[in-house]
Amino acid sequence: MNLTVLDFEIIENVAVITMNNPPINALTPVFLKDFDQVFHLIDRSDDARAVLIASKCPDFFSVGDDVTKLREIDDDLIALQPKAQEMMNTLEALPLPVVAAINGHALGGGLELALCCDFRFMGEGSGVIGLPEVRLGMIPAFGGTQRLPQIIGKTRAFEMMVKGLQIKPDEAKNIGLINDVFPKNELYEKSLNYTKRLARQATGAIASIKKCVNTGLTQGFKKGLLMEQKLFKENIVKPDVKEGIDAFLNGRKPEFTGK
């Protein structure tokens, strides 16, 4: 496939997506098209068992829209919004654990992209994150108004959005917005190693857990319980369950296949 602003490779069962749309990894139509192609690559791959999203742009993970191009609000810009939401929804629903290595500023659509990931790591002193659209008289529109409250709670999320707050890594960790902060020069390596460990786990079971959690959050408690019942029945007969039990009973490490 011809990718324009994303690089894609599989490293030890980790599908590594590296954003490379300098200078700020703006979420352009080409960017969304590349992500759609990458999703197809992951779906067809037998080797990909976890996903890492990183950035090649120094000091920027992504800041969403290029503000210099917002002087004229046209139909193309308005049409981009539902397409971006669809891309974010697809990312969030991937049946694999997804990690974001946030190497710099993650603002607006950039943070909204990171919110779709299951784990988020930042580098020390690597910029700020937030949804500052209100400072332009705008609102977050790629899912941020829904996902940020789910992750950090309504009160903090609402304050961040209505004040347009941009916070540093340590504060983001303290409020549960990111999982951990690493030395900046070790961010990619540590994030990749974390993702490799996830890839060695029972990723079929992880996919089921992820589906149950997301169902409960988006459709309610009762629907989440029904999804638990459904996926428990499907999961309990899979080879990884037999392997996990056998490994436990024999005092060895399991060798999961993701099936």
Model pLDDT for residues 233-252, shown as the tens digit of each residue: 999 999 999 999 999 999 99
Segments in the chain forming alpha helices (H): 29-44, 75-92, 109-115, 144-152, 154-163, 169-174, 187-199, 203-219, 221-235, 239-249
Q: Which of 9, 133, 159, 186 is catalytic?
A: 133
pLDDT for res 88 = 96
With CA atoms as reference, report the closest residue to 31 among 18, 17, 21, 43.
21
Whether 133 sits among the annotated catalytic residues: the reply is: yes
pLDDT for res 68 = 65
pLDDT for res 78 = 81
What pLDDT, in 10s, does the model give residues 94-146?
999 999 999 999 999 999 999 999 999 999 998 999 999 999 999 999 999 99
pLDDT for res 71 = 63
Distance from first CA to last CA of the chain, Å, rounded? 27
What pLDDT, in 10s, does the model give residues 52-95?
999 999 999 999 876 666 666 767 778 888 999 999 999 999 99
* Domain 6-199: assigned CATH number: 3.90.226.10
pLDDT for res 41 = 95
Return the percentage of the chain with pLDDT > 70, whole number.
96
With CA atoms as reference, report the closest residue to 115 among 95, 139, 85, 135.
85
For residue 135, give every residue at least 6 positions away whose Cβ sits within 8 Å of its Cβ, in sequence order, or none. Answer: 164
43 — pLDDT class (breaks 50, 70, 90)? very high
| pLDDT exceeds 90 at position 162 | yes
Whether 112 sits among the annotated catalytic residues: the reply is: yes
Q: Which of 9, 12, 112, 186 is catalytic?
A: 112
- 229 with 246: CB under 8 angstroms? no
Annotated domain spans of the chain: 6-199, 203-249
pLDDT for res 259 = 85
| Positive or negative torsion for Cα 67, 68, 70, 74 | negative
What pLDDT, in 10s, does the model give residues 175-212?
999 999 999 999 999 999 999 999 999 999 999 999 99
User: Nearest 5°: phi and psi at 158?
Assistant: -65, -40
